[in-house]
Amino acid sequence: MNKRFLKVTIFSIAVIGAYTLFSSLYVPLIVPEEPLSVEAVDTASGVEGFISLGEKIFKGKGACALCHNSVGRAPLLENIVDVSVTRIAAPDYHGSAKTSVEYIRESLASPSAYVVPGYGVAGDEKTSPMPDVTAGAIGLSRLEVDYVIAYLQRLSGVDVTVTREAGGIDVSGAVETTTSAEGAR
Residues in the site for ligand HEC, rule: CB under 6 A? 62-64, 66-68, 74-75, 77, 80, 83, 87, 104, 107-108, 111, 115-116, 119, 128-130, 133, 148
**Strand, helix or coil for residue 89:** helix
Angle at 115 between CA 110 and CA 121, to 5 degrees: 100
Residues of 176-185 as b/e, b for ≥16 C-beta within 10 angstroms? Answer: eeeeeeeeee
Of 162, 173, 148, 139, nearest to 77 (Cα)?
A: 148
Residue 81 makes CB contacts below 8 A (sequence gap 6+) with 100, 152, 153, 156, 158, 173, 174, 175
Provide the minimum distance between the beta carbon of 40 and ligand HEC in the complex, in angstroms, as a whole number: 20
Residue closer to ligand HEC by CB (options 66, 135) is: 66
Residue closer to ligand HEC by CB (options 62, 173) is: 62
Provide the minimum distance between the beta carbon of 24 and ligand HEC in the complex, in angstroms, as a whole number: 41
Q: Answer for the pair 82, 98: CB distance below 8 angstroms, yes or no.
A: no
Q: Answer for the pair 61, 147: CB distance below 8 angstroms, yes or no.
A: no
Q: Answer for the pair 149, 84: CB distance below 8 angstroms, yes or no.
A: no
Provide the minimum distance between the beta carbon of 172 and ligand HEC in the complex, in angstroms, as a whole number: 17
Residue closer to ligand HEC by CB (options 92, 182) is: 92
Provide the minimum distance between the beta carbon of 34 and ligand HEC in the complex, in angstroms, as a whole number: 20
The end-to-end CA distance of the chain, in Å, is 82
Residue closer to ligand HEC by CB (options 13, 66) is: 66
Provide the minimum distance between the beta carbon of 170 and ligand HEC in the complex, in angstroms, as a whole number: 19
Residue closer to ligand HEC by CB (options 146, 172) is: 146
